[in-house]
Amino acid sequence: MGTVSVSQNFKPKNIYIIGAQCTGKTSLVNALERSFASLFNTTPPIIVREVARSVLKKHGFTASDITSDPDRCLQLQELILEAQFNSEREALARNSWIISDRSGIDPIIYASRHIGREAVDLMTSSNYWQELRDRMSQSLVFVCETVEAWLISDGVRLMPRDVQDWSEYDEEFCRMLKSAEIAYQIIPRSVENLEDRASFVWSRWKKASLA
């Protein structure tokens, strides 16, 4: 397939790929990055990579001490929120649009699941979240649904207790996005093929960017 030329009024929308653990987010972001040049004749995005792992490593967090210590868990989620903010700002200072592997809402979801409402209120009142939320509300946000066969621990991420707990993350992402008045689209679990998932995103991105 050749590249698709776009009109001068084409304004690329930022893309956020979010969702629960082990739902293929990073694989999808990488597929979007690889396929862009062969599909579109316009400015490519900067990829905002997942920030959580670098924050974990830099500050010496482990999954076990996060789940057993609410204060340390909150500290981690706040650091991830700040890192996401800084990464997006840096990327957008160099380019007109981004594809982000996860988002500012992800650490808020984890705070909700592992700490509680007070932690969510604290994080959503921050200036970091206000800017990130505003940007997300003007972007395309895709929530990857859980696929049971993909739930495998890598020894780093906070993992759900079981499949039911995992599926509840889907509901939490959707509920939190609605509460923040951020429009989103679901990448259904029935679409497992990576190429089909990338096509799902690109078709909606092209339409939205021409609107």
**pLDDT tens-digit series, residues 191-201:** 989 999 999 99
Question: Is residue 158 over pLDDT 60?
Answer: no
pLDDT, residue 179, reads 95
Nearest-CA neighbor of 139 among 187, 97, 192? Answer: 97
Question: Does a structural domain hold residue 101?
Answer: yes
Question: Does a structural domain hold residue 2?
Answer: no
Nearest-CA neighbor of 51 among 14, 20, 76? Answer: 76
Mean pLDDT of all residues in 2-21: 78
Question: Does a structural domain hold residue 195?
Answer: yes
Question: Is residue 49 over pLDDT 80?
Answer: yes
Question: Does a structural domain hold residue 16?
Answer: yes
Question: Is residue 41 over pLDDT 50?
Answer: yes
Tens-digit pLDDT profile for residues 60-101: 887 666 777 899 999 999 999 999 999 999 999 999 999 999
Question: Does a structural domain hold residue 202?
Answer: yes
For residues 144 and 23, the answer to whether their CB atoms sit within 8 Å is: yes
CATH code for the domain in which residue 50 is found:
3.40.50.300
Structural domains counted in the chain? 1
User: Dihedrals φ, ψ of 46, to 5°?
Assistant: -95, 135
Question: Does a structural domain hold residue 3?
Answer: no
Residue 144 is part of which domain span?
Answer: 8-210
Question: Does a structural domain hold residue 71?
Answer: yes
Question: Does a structural domain hold residue 1?
Answer: no
Question: Is residue 128 over pLDDT 80?
Answer: yes
- To which residue do tokens 């996401």 refer? 84
Q: 10 Å Cβ neighbour count for 58?
A: 10
